[in-house]
Amino acid sequence: VPELPEVETVRRSLLPGLYDGTITAVEVSRFPLRQRPIDRAALEALVGARFTEARRHGKYLMLDTSCGASLLVHLGMSGRLLLVEREAPLAKHTHVVLSLSTGRALRYVDPRRFGIVRSYRTASLPATDELAALGPDPITGTFDVATLTAALETERDLKAVLLDQKVVAGLGNIYVSEALWEAKLSPRQRGEGVRGPQIRALHAAIGKVLRRAVKNHGTSLSDYVDATGQSGWNQDALRVYEKTGAPCRRCRTKICRIVQAGRSTYYCPTCQSR
Ligand SMILES: [Zn+2]
C-alpha cells in the first residue's frame, strides 16, 4: 500500500513531462473508484488546461492546472499513476486517461479500486472531505514534537495514534512499524505512557524512516511503482516490516508479527518491550 514515501516518489517522477503541453482528451472507465462513479464531466473540464504544480499532503497528490482546478489523487491500496507515451500498451484496470498534447498520457491504474481521482477547484481543496481533517505532513508540514506530544495524550496504543491521518498524514503500516523500531517503542504502548525523551526519539524516528524511504524511491513489496513504472528499493532497507523470524539488527532477537486492529505490526520484543 503506497504511503508518504511512495506518493512522494510518484510526484517527483511525474515532474519530467507533466508540465509540458495541454490536456487534450479524457477517458474514464465505467467502474467506480472508492465506491463513487468517476466524475467524467469534472475531468473533461480540464481539457485545454496544462498542469502547473504537483503537490503532496500525506498520501494525497494535488495536481494543479492552469484552469483553476486541481486533480486530487489517492492511490488507495493498489493504485498507480503513470506518465507514459500514448502508444504504450494500456494496462488492465486503467480507469482514467488524460492525454497530453506532447503525445504522452497520464494514466490511473487500480485493480482494487480503493483509490481516488477527482477534480476540485484549487481554492476549495483545503476544505474538501478528503483533505480538511488531515493532520500535518511530516516532511513538508508543521508536524513537530509539540504536535506529537499532544496527540499522545490518549489511551490509544502507539500503532493506532501513528496510523491516524488526523494526527500525522502519510504514515501507514510499513513506516509505523519502522519508526517504532527506530525509537525502541512498543507498538502496544499507550500514548499517555510515553515520556518526553521517548516522544522526541519517536518524532525523530518518523522523519528518519520517511526521508530514508524517499531517498530509496519508496518500498516496492507488491504493486508499487513510480510514474515511469520503476520500482523502489527501500524494501532492502526495512528493519522489521515483513521480517518475521529474522534477527533484529540491534539485538539479534527474532522479529515478531502481531495483529492490531486487523493489521499486521512487526517489532522486536526485546528492544521494543515498552
Ligand atoms: Zn532488538
3-state secondary structure of 111: coil
Ligand 1 centroid to residue 271 C-alpha, Å: 4
- Grid cell for residue 127: 476544505
Tell me if residue 32 is catalytic. Answer: no
Check: CB of residue 210 under 8 Å from CB of residue 170.
yes
Amino acid at 210: L
* Ligand 1 mean position, distance from CA 2 (Å): 26
Q: Which residue has the cell 507498538?
A: 187
Three cell numbers, residue 104: 504522452
Segment 231-260 shows an average pLDDT of 97
Q: How far is CA 19 from its chain centroid?
A: 22
Please confirm, yes or no, whether 2 is among the known catalytic residues.
yes
Calculate mean pLDDT across residues 195-210. Answer: 98
C-alpha 255 – ligand 1 centre gap (Å)? 8
pLDDT tens-digit readout, 20-41: 999 999 999 999 999 999 999 9
Which pLDDT tens digit goes with each residue over 210-230? 999 999 999 999 889 999 999
From the list 11, 59, 184, 243, the catalytic residue is: 59
- Under 8 Å CB-to-CB from 43, ≥6 apart: which residues? 26, 28, 71, 96, 98, 117, 119
User: Ligand 1: distance of its center to the CA of 182 in Å?
Assistant: 10
Gap between the Cα atoms of 150 and 74, Å rounded: 27
Answer for the pair 248, 167: CB distance below 8 angstroms, yes or no.
no
